[in-house]
Amino acid sequence: MRSPADVYEKIVYWSDEDNCFIGMCPELSYGGVHGDDAVEVFKELCEAVDEWVEIFKEDGKPLPEPKRAVLEAA
C-alpha cells in the first residue's frame, strides 16, 4: 500500500562543501538530512518525509502538489 509520502521526490546527493551526503524533499521542506552513507541518508529522508506529511495533516494544511504529478500531467 502506498503512503501519501511516496509521491514526493526524494533527492540524495554528495556535497563536497559539507563533505557528506545530503537528503532533501523540495516540495515539503527547505531543510533535510545528512550523513556519511547514501543509503542511510535515504532511509532517514523517507522517515522525515513521512513525519512532514503527518505534520501537514495535524496542522490542517493541504499537502503541496507533488512535482512528479505536475510533470506527468503536462
Tens digits of per-residue pLDDT, 22-53? 999 998 877 789 999 999 999 999 999 999 99
**Measured distance CA(56)–CA(64) in Å, rounded:** 9
pLDDT band for position 10 (50/70/90)?
A: very high
pTM above 0.95, yes or no: no
pLDDT at position 68, please? 66
Please give the average per-residue pLDDT across 9-19, as a whole number: 96
13's CB contacts (< 8 A; 6+ apart) are 21, 22
12 to 1, 5, 58, 65: CA distances (angstroms): 24, 16, 27, 20
Length of the chain: 74
